[in-house]
Amino acid sequence: MNPIVDREKGLLELERRIAELRSANAKQPVDISAEIAALEAKYALIQREVFGELSAWEKVHMARHPNRPTTLDYLSQLDRFDELHGDRQIRDDPAIVGGFALLAGRAVVAIGQQRGRDTKENLRRNFGMVTPEGYRKVARLAKLAVRLGLPIITFVDTKGADPGIGSEERAQSEAIARCLYEFTLARVPIIATIIGEGGSGGALALAIADRVVMLEHSVYSVASPEGCAAILWGDAGKADEAAAHLKLTAQDLQRFGIVDEIVPEPLGGAHRDPVGMVGRVLEVVATALAGFDGQSADEILEVRYRRYRRLGAWQDGLREVGGAVP
Amino acid sequence: MPMPEWLRIRRSSDAGVSDAALWTKCPSCSEVLYRRDLAANLDVCPKCAHHFRMHAFDRIASIVDGDFTEIGADVLPLDPLGWADKRPYPAKLEADRQKSGLTEGVVTGLAKIGGFDVALGVMDFYFRGGTMGSVVGERITRLLEAARSASLPCVLFTASGGARMEEGMLALMQMAKTTAAVTRFIEAGNFMLVVLTDPTTGGVSASFAFQADVIVAEPKAMIGFAGRRVIEQTIRQKLPDQFQTAEFLLEKGHIDMVVDRRELRATLIRLFEYAAAGRRVTGSNGAVRTVPTGVDTQ
């Protein structure tokens, strides 16, 4: 039940009819190109109406769209990717994929949350909700990257950390806290990209970075809108209202200095042109990484520290500090 | 113990206690307790040892030698998201200020505990459920910075429902901010101690709380990442009573010890002694002192 998917149905139907008419037009003597043009104009109008101005709640659904490019779509479009598995202790968490990769000729360590693209894969990958073993794999790969001097690139796409009994029993809090600690001190550049949904601490565990990139319709939130509505009002059904309050869009977060760069999506969303979208994002990430060439680890760490040190909004005596960039 | 000056000043603004509030009932054993007796027993039920949630000022008074110099008291909340649901966020803050006598969800400052100069932070569940927003993050960060520059050990008492929804992503970012402060504090060789109290969850447990060198918890305190209700809704079954208690976490190896509140001060002092014993430490006055390795309980 994704309203974006529902709305697309009408458009996809129209798209199919236009294609049919086009191929028919080529074969028959009567010219119907005027009709086709009218349909195309109608299509463009509806598309702009439906996708031109997305509300926060609509963006949440766009971010969760089943066809939206996932981490593996990004990794498979890299020059090379060799997956590394496991936390060396308990198991390999399929909700995290990570390993060595080549990005624009540069060796990196790439890590991301992986949700499923269908029901079967979603069950295997726990809908992209990471368990402590997954976060320990992340911390292990981050340490490895530091030891070898490889930059880290991450892809964030999760509703949140796994809230199950097993995850609590195996110290979910500690696993996330450890990731935050390792990323804060990692002596290599880190570029994080919010490719879909960034849900709470489970997302932040992969998103402490020197540059945070976000797709135009991705969302990144202190809690899922459903979770927020349940916490504040005891009613997860008011998620649409919560989404509007939470300021979870890329545009909001850029104003708060949490996100540095927004990558535009095609009208209708990233999944309308997955290969092109992934290519553009990887280009942005590669360019961001190149910006750190020649910088020492000490410099990078100092700037990273200051980046997070200043975040927040408070009153200090008579002075107001932080908040949105005017 | 006479009320120290810092506390007397802070308390003078308290609303008068009504008659009805003179008595309270233990939620665990149902014993009716005279509040003054309960307070004298550090808010621990004299009959069944149930640990009541403690006000930050009472906690500080129960743990420090005498004085407490607050840091970050001038750091006060704003409303960066312009949040309003049933009530605007500033009105919620004002109501909690009235109710708790606190200006935010954590009180931070410098004190002596058993003669040790320490940095002390105490979260309070009675202010917005101890949730971490910009002010909580900034105060804890300033505390850790002060502790680092004076090479003091730091002890943080946690009580938190997680990140504060009304500050959105700026609240989530406090996990990153406090982590940054913790890394600098710990990597400089300082000792960090956390006491988890009921409840500690979400953004606080998944950041500075579980980054400490030694983690102590109070008996029966509820501690976890996801809240109990969230888990029950997810798995659609009731959780056992013991799940996510301090005792459960001790058994699973997540924390170092569970300590009765009435033994807590003595335990902290012993821990500070160990942390100081192995090396020469610089005191807050800049003088290098050698800490005896012998254990001196008092």
3-state secondary structure chain A: CCHHHHHHHHHHHHHHHHHHHHHHHHHCCCCCHHHHHHHHHHHHHHHHHHHCCCCHHHHHHHHCCCCCCCHHHHHHCCCEEEECCCCCCCCCCCCEEEEEEEECCEEEEEEEECCCCCHHHHHHCHHHCCCHHHHHHHHHHHHHHHHHCCCEEEEEEECCCCCCHHHHHCCHHHHHHHHHHHHHHCCCCEEEEEEEEEEHHHHHCCCCCCEEEEECCCEEECCCHHHHHHHHHCCHHHHHHHHHHHCCEHHHHHHCCCCCEEECCCCCCHHHCHHHHHHHHHHHHHHHHHCCCCCCHHHHHHHHHHHHHCCCEEEECCEEEECCCC
pLDDT at B293: 47
Q: Across the interface, do A315 and B138 touch by the CB < 8 Å criterion? A: no
Which residues in chain A are closer than 8 Å to B179, comparing Cβ atoms? 177, 180-181, 184, 208, 308
pLDDT at B282 over 60: no
Looking at residue A194, which CATH number applies to its domain? 3.90.226.10
Range scoring the smallest mean pLDDT among A87-91, B224-228, B250-254: B224-228
In this structure, CATH architecture of domain B5-16+53-289: Alpha-Beta Complex (3.90)
Of A168, A231, A258, the CB nearest to B173: A258
Does residue A105 sit in the same domain as residue A127? yes
A151 and A94 housed in the same domain: yes
Q: Determine whether the interchain pair A168/B176 forms a contact, defined as Cβ–Cβ distance below 8 Å.
A: no
Q: Are residues A156 and A35 part of one domain?
A: no
A184-236 per-position pLDDT tens digit: 999 999 999 999 999 999 999 999 999 999 999 999 999 999 989 988 898 88
Q: Is residue A322 part of a domain?
A: no
A171 with A126, same domain? Answer: yes
Minimum-distance CB partner of B169 among A170, A180, A256: A256
Computed over every residue of chain B, the mean pLDDT equals 90
Give yes or no for residue B284 having a pLDDT over 70.
Answer: no
* pLDDT one-digit tens code per residue, A3-54: 888 888 888 888 899 988 888 887 877 888 888 899 899 888 888 888 888 9
Per-residue model confidence as pLDDT tens digits over A252-301 = 999 999 999 999 999 999 999 999 999 999 999 999 999 999 999 999 99
Residue B12 pLDDT: 52
Same domain, A182 and A273: yes
A163 contacts on B by Cβ (under 8 Å):
225-226, 230-231, 234
Interchain CB contact of B250 with A (< 8 Å): no
Query: Residues A193, A108: one domain?
Result: yes
Same domain for A46 and A68? no
Q: Which residue has the higher pLDDT, B125 or B239?
A: B125
Provide ipTM, 2 decimals.
Answer: 0.95
The domain in which residue A159 lies consists of: 60-315
Over the stretch B38-56, which tens digit does the pLDDT of each residue have?
999 999 999 999 999 999 9
Q: pLDDT per residue over A130-178, tens digit each?
A: 999 999 999 999 999 999 999 999 999 999 999 999 999 999 999 999 9
Residue B142, pLDDT score: 98
Judged by CB atoms closer than 8 Å, whether chains meet at A201 and B206 is answered as yes
Of all residues in chain B, the percent with pLDDT exceeding 70 is 87
For residue B16, name the pLDDT band (cuts at 50, 70, 90): very low
